[in-house]
Amino acid sequence: MVVSNLCSFSIRVSPSTTLRRALSNYMHAFANTSIESPSSRAMEQNTKTLADYLDLVKRRKYYIVVTWLLVSVTSVIVAYNLPKIYRSTATMLIEAPIPTNLVESTISQFADEQIQSIYQRVMATDNVLSIIDANGLYKDIKMALRNMN
């Protein structure tokens, strides 16, 4: 619905009236009129309440349910068809005195290279086995293996 307000003004201009005075009279007459804008009426009509939204949901309930079901079924199908890849990482902190010859400071190596070098030396099989024996780790597994033999 389009609402429009039309205003008409009649201004008498005599030959002796200057153009400035005629425009001044026109502007004065226009300023004193009250015109309600169509947008203010439209805004009053478009104000939505909670009841309007509930009515909208009631009218569109089948569309909402069908959309929800499609999204849910699609999500389940995608979840079951994704490859089952699991990634796990662990960090072991070994607190033991490090011999000084392992931590030699060289200018030619970067810090990352030095850490990698130390990591490879510490994590050698012999070192790890000696740490396991020294701390008594995996005793139950060792006993089970001995009993099997």
pLDDT for 28 beyond 70? no
Whether residue 9 is contained in a domain is answered as: no
Whether residue 23 is contained in a domain is answered as: no
**What is the rounded (10 degree) CA torsion for 34, 38, 40, 41?**
110
Centroid of chain to Cα 28: 56
CA distances (Å), origin 120, targets 23, 102, 126, 127: 94, 11, 12, 10
Q: What is the pLDDT of residue 10?
A: 55
Contacts 24+ apart (CB under 8 A), 87-92: none
Whether residue 1 is contained in a domain is answered as: no
pLDDT for 11 beyond 60? no
Supply the mean pLDDT for the chain.
Answer: 75
pLDDT for 14 beyond 70? no
Whether residue 57 is contained in a domain is answered as: yes
Whether residue 37 is contained in a domain is answered as: no
Which domain range does residue 64 map to?
49-81
